[in-house]
Structures are given as C-alpha cells and as structure tokens.
C-alpha cells in the first residue's frame, strides 16, 4: 500500500510539472501570435502612410487608433533630412475594450523620388508588450 501511495505521489508531481510547462508554452505561443498580429497592423499603417505620401499628400502627418481588422494602428510621419525623406513610425494595437492586450510597431526610414517611386527603405521592428 505504501508503494502504491508513493507511486501516486510521484505521478501527481510529474503531472503537475507537465501541466506547468504546458501552460508556460501555451502562454508564450499566445503572446507571439498577438505580437505577430500587432506587427501586421503596424505594417498596414505604414502602407497607408506610404500610399498617402506617394499620392503627393506631403501634409499627411499620420493618424491615431485607426481600426483595421482585429485591432487598431497609429502612424506618425515626420520629414527626414533630405528631399523626399520621411520617418514613419507605426504601431499596431490589440485591445479588449480600453485594455491594450499587446502592441508592437515598426520604424521606417523611407526616401521617395519626385514621381512617388520608393528609392530606399530602412525597416526596424519595435518590440513591446
């Protein structure tokens, strides 16, 4: 009987460790999925800003909390050091009401030719939670 109780205690401890590791792994996977969605939202915001700039709307300075798919994005456009150069910062947000579940963004240095063609682009992913 003591052997059976000892065996059951070992099995319970093993299952507790297994479920703790499973929970940690699932939490990490869920966070990575949310981060990927936020990056996609930020990329959508950047693409909108790029389209506005390529259309000749040099006065476009960005927008806040524009809805897109499952979340929102915010974009800020600042003039760069040269002709046709811009710094675009876009952030994607996943929200549950007023609570921000996750956010991530991109910072992009872009140079446009006078005809709207992209001459160069430098992309940096900004990770945050």
pLDDT (tens digit, 9 = 90+) per residue, 13-23?
A: 999 999 999 99
**The domain containing residue 41 runs over which residues?**
2-128
What 8-state DSSP symbol labels residue 49? Answer: H
The pLDDT score that the predictor gives to residue 116 is 82
Say if CB 81 and CB 97 are below 8 A apart. Answer: no
Report how far residue 26's alpha carbon sits from residue 12's, in angstroms, rounded to the nearest whole number: 21
pLDDT exceeds cutoff 80 at 108: yes
Report how far residue 89's alpha carbon sits from residue 46's, in angstroms, rounded to the nearest whole number: 7
Neighbours of 124 (CB within 10 A): 10
What are the backbone angles phi and psi of residue 32, rounded to the nearest 5°? -65, -35
Confidence of residue 82 (pLDDT cuts 50, 70, 90): confident
For the entire predicted model, the pTM comes to 0.81
pLDDT exceeds cutoff 60 at 36: yes
């Amino acid at each position: 009987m003591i052997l059976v109780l000892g065996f059951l205690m070992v099995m319970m401890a093993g299952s507790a460790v297994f479920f703790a590791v499973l929970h940690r792994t699932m939490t990490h996977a869920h966070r990575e999925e949310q981060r990927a969605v936020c990056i996609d939202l930020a990329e959508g915001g950047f693409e909108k800003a790029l389209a506005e700039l390529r259309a000749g709307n040099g006065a476009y300075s960005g927008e806040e909390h524009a809805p897109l798919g499952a979340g929102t994005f915010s974009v800020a456009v600042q003039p760069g050091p040269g002709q046709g150069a811009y710094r675009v910062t876009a952030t994607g947000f996943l929200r549950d009401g007023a609570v921000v579940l996750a956010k991530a963004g991109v910072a992009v240095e872009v140079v446009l030719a006078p005809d709207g063609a992209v001459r160069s682009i430098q992309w940096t992913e900004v990770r945050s939670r």
